[in-house]
């Protein structure tokens, strides 16, 4: 009895070539060929030349798998790569109008804070400084910066409560 490895060596290039021609996509063809070899392995005892051409059987299985894959892809929505979708959702595109509106809203919100709290928030969140570097810039101890930022955020939460999530 011939082993699967011997069949792969004898017919592998022809099967991959045929799958590539049928699918038009090298990577999709490799998926089809992998499934073809799995089916060949499951039917190894029947893959003998005295029962018919092994290559013809492999090509027929490859053809059927490629057609089935094509039909199933047509029945489903088009697949998109996760990376592209993730980048679209993680990288918001804002227009200049939206940026101006955001600056106006943030400016108005910050006006509700005392001057000390506002400067601490601006140094930590807008200048992107650590509490220690913000403390140096403001001339106060790091603990004071942390306290001011904490109190400022509490004041903002009380003044602008989060709306309840809409239910569908």
CATH topology of domain 94-159: Arc Repressor Mutant, subunit A (1.10.10)
pLDDT at res. 90: 58
Q: Does the pLDDT value for residue 29 go beyond 90?
A: yes
Structure-model confidence comparison of residues 49 and 150, the more confident one: 150
In angstroms, the first-to-last Cα distance of the chain is 63
pLDDT tens for each residue of 94-125: 788 888 888 888 888 888 889 999 999 999 98
From 103, 7, 85, select the one nearest 46 (Cα to Cα): 7
CATH code linked to domain 4-78: 1.10.1740.10
Long-range own/partner contacts, residues 53-57 (CB < 8 A, 24 or more apart): 54/2, 54/7, 54/10, 54/11, 55/10, 55/11, 55/14, 55/15
Entry pTM: 0.45
Q: Does the pLDDT value for residue 130 go beyond 80?
A: yes
Q: Does the pLDDT value for residue 136 go beyond 80?
A: yes
Domain positions in the chain are: 4-78, 94-159
pLDDT tens for each residue of 58-76: 999 999 999 998 888 777 7
Count of positions (residues) in the chain = 168
């Amino acid at each position: 009895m011939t082993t699967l490895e011997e069949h792969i060596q004898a017919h592998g290039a022809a099967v991959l070539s045929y799958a590539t021609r049928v699918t038009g996509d090298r990577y999709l063809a490799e998926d089809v060929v992998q499934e073809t070899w799995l089916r060949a392995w499951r039917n190894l005892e029947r893959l003998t030349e005295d029962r018919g051409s092994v290559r013809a059987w492999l090509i027929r299985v490859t053809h059927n798998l490629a057609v089935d894959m094509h039909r199933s892809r047509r029945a489903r929505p088009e697949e998109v790569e996760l990376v592209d979708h993730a980048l679209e959702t993680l990288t918001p595109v804002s227009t200049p109008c939206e940026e101006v509106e955001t600056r106006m809203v943030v400016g108005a919100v910050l006006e509700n804070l005392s001057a000390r709290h506002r400067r601490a928030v601006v140094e930590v969140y807008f200048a992107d400084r650590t509490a220690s570097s913000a403390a140096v810039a403001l001339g106060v101890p790091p603990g004071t910066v942390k306290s001011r930022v904490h109190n400022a955020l509490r004041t903002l939460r009380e003044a602008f409560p989060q709306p309840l999530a809409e239910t569908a």
